[in-house]
Amino acid sequence: MVTSLPPRERPPGTETAPHAPHPADGGGGETGDPGRRGWLPWALPAVLLVALFFALPFALNARFAFSAWTGFRSEITWNGLDNFRMLVEQDLLTNAVTVTVLYAILCMAIQNTVSLSLALALQRTDRVNTVFRSVFFLPTLVSPLAAGYIWRGILDPAGPVNSFLGIDWAWLGEPATALLTVAFVDAWKWSGLITLVYIAGLNSVPRELIESATVDGAGPWTRFARVRFPLLAPAITFNVAVTLVGALSAYDVIAATTGGGPGDHTRALNIVMRQQWGQGFFGSASALSLTVTLLVIATAVPLVWWLRRREVTG
Amino acid sequence: MRVVKYTLLSLFAIPWVVVPFWLVVVNSFKPAGEAAELGLGLPRQWAIVENYTTVVDTGDYLGGLANSLMITVPVVLAVLLLGAAAAWAYGRGDSRWLRATYFVLSLSILIPPSIIPTVHVLRGLGLDGTPFGYALVLIGTRLGIVVFLATGFVRAFPPDLEDAAAIDGASRPQIFARILLPLLRPVLFVGSVILVINVWNDFFFGLFLLKGQDNATLPLTLFQFASGTLQTLQWNLVFAHVLLTTLPLVAVYVFAQKHVLAGLTEGALKG
């Protein structure tokens, strides 16, 4: 999936070879094989929509981030690094970057630990496992916003978790646990889907390989570490990249649970971005948005590259 | 060994799935004071009718439901159709333009959309704040993944069937509708599952791109409703709204779960 981003090279000749012997080649322009140019119209609607609502905003964002643009004046003018300087002076940017990166790492760690464990337990497709898979998929259907409200209730100082543990702790209100707790809610929401991707990855490991390793005397841990884990690399690449990248642009769960608090302990980049936008500071909001994009690129590119190398070398 | 495993899984399912869903359901049946205790016991006093009428009336549930349907259904259909058409082109054709645009489409999967310039673009088109503009943005930002998955799928099949149909005189739209779409069904199904969950639950984009109570989708009405009582959440009402917002997807899932799970475990990593 995401692990093979660049278009695959096809061997030379395969493109035209199957069509060459066809007697109807002359009329091919109107029918099945429209030739090299004829394919573009089929991609065009998708390309236009992606150009207009992904590529153009992406390019514009790089300009707006360095522009004076507020709700109080209509002109958008270049102002260099002023937006970033202002955000740093207000102690907003550095904290937001730290919170966002920590949050993404926590989400990724919790989500992949839970999902990989569940996938290992539910790998075989039988009736009982199907029921469990079905149950553990349910959180994925809940919107991130609703998930935030649900867990805000469960983790309320008066809620079921505290009454079960017999303690009185504001999980979302104390600086020590707030970020970890919000990351947990995010992981909870996506775990069902990630589990299924891991199950798909596990089941693509050839059974004979596991069996021959067992015959050779490898114990369950060795079998996992030496055989399944390396062959699971494509699924791990995908899941780690997807969960990190997704969590870097987190907003919904934080908005529903802490709104950025206590203090600024869960104030991730997008939370600050929305606040700046709401106050009419569109330029600095763009600067924060660009920071998210840069973090994503800085995370995704080396990660995909490194994990793909590991896939090959095992 | 199996008994131990299933016991552990069941024990894990209690805090992970059962408690969250039960807490929502049972507390949405209680009056405000009792729900504030956030207990897991059955209501001492039932307030089902009161709570749910309040949510439907003041939480604007029905309006939100209609708006969510009017956005989700066309967006998902458009992404699948346009995505399949583009995947056919990328799977079969080869030119500099196709390669360049495919690269941009692939990037759009990983890089988060820039929401603020998107508002600017929509303003330029006169679509700022409208459901139509919101739908167009959702289509444009969700197409990448479907095109990417479906292109891999198209490439895995030799073009023999299409060639044979072309020799028999079938037009390209006919070939697309009769051969390509049925061929892509597994991958389009997986795509539609992910899309429906993603579009139905979208809150972040709606927050920036939809204006006015009349256009609010369910996540937005839930947020407004909960924010109205932000300091002390009225848990009975918030949970009733959460339940009603989640219910449509759960209802679809109950009927389609077999296909959803099979599709995601078998079809997700292909291509």
Instruction: Give ipTM to 2 decimals.
Output: 0.92
pLDDT (0 to 100) of residue B225: 86
- Contact list, A197 vs chain B (CB under 8 Å): 264, 268-269
What mean pLDDT value characterizes chain B? 90
Encoded tokens for A183: 């990351």
* Distance of alpha carbon B63 from alpha carbon B55, whole angstroms: 12
Closest-approach residue (CA) in chain A for B105: A50
Residue A156 to residue B38, Cβ atoms within 8 A: yes
Q: List the one residue out of B106, B130, B128 whose CA is nearest residue B117.
A: B128
Chain A: closest CA distance from residue B203 (Å): 7
* Distance of alpha carbon A291 from alpha carbon A247, whole angstroms: 14
- Contact list, A146 vs chain B (CB under 8 Å): 201, 219, 222, 242, 245-246
User: Residue ranges per domain, chain B?
Assistant: 2-46, 62-266
Tens of pLDDT along chain A (314 residues) come to: 333 333 434 444 344 434 433 433 333 343 445 554 588 889 999 999 999 999 999 999 988 888 888 878 778 888 888 889 988 888 889 999 999 999 999 999 999 999 999 999 998 888 899 999 999 999 999 999 999 999 999 999 888 998 899 888 889 988 989 999 999 999 999 999 999 989 988 887 777 777 788 888 888 788 777 777 777 887 888 888 889 999 999 999 999 999 888 989 999 999 999 999 999 889 899 999 999 999 999 988 887 777 667 655 54
Q: Pick the residue of A48, A50, A134, A273 with the most B CBs within 10 A to test the interface with B by mutation.
A: A50
Average pLDDT of span B183-203: 92
Q: List the one residue out of B76, B66, B238, B224 whose CA is nearest residue B142.
A: B76
Residue A141 to residue B83, Cβ atoms within 8 A: no
* Distance of alpha carbon A229 from alpha carbon A210, whole angstroms: 11
Residue A1 to residue B269, Cβ atoms within 8 A: yes
Compute the Cα dihedral for A155, A160, A162, A165 and give only its sign: negative
Where do we find the tokens 């339940």? Answer: B243
Question: What are the CA-CA distances from residue B33 to residues A146, A148, A217, B232, B259 (Å)?
Answer: 21, 22, 62, 11, 42
Chain A: closest CA distance from residue B158 (Å): 9
pLDDT (0 to 100) of residue A8: 39
The CATH number of the structural domain formed by B62-266 is: 1.10.3720.10
What are the pLDDT digits (tens) for B12-65?
Answer: 999 999 999 999 999 999 998 888 888 888 988 898 898 899 888 887 889 999
* Distance of alpha carbon B79 from alpha carbon B145, whole angstroms: 10
Q: Pick the residue of B6, B16, B265, B270 with the most A CBs within 10 A to test the interface with A by mutation.
A: B265
Q: Which of A5, A238, A249 is the closest to B112 by Cβ?
A: A249
Closest-approach residue (CA) in chain A for B198: A143
Residue B261 to residue A6, Cβ atoms within 8 A: no
Report how many helices (DSSP H) and strands (DSSP E) chain B contains, helices first: 15, 0
* Distance of alpha carbon A11 from alpha carbon A13, whole angstroms: 6
Closest-approach residue (CA) in chain B for A201: B269
Question: For chain A, how many residues are written?
Answer: 314
Encoded tokens for B170: 């079938």
- Contact list, B36 vs chain A (CB under 8 Å): 158
Fold of A84-313: MetI-like fold (1.10.3720)
Q: Strands A67-70 and A73-78, how do they pair?
A: antiparallel
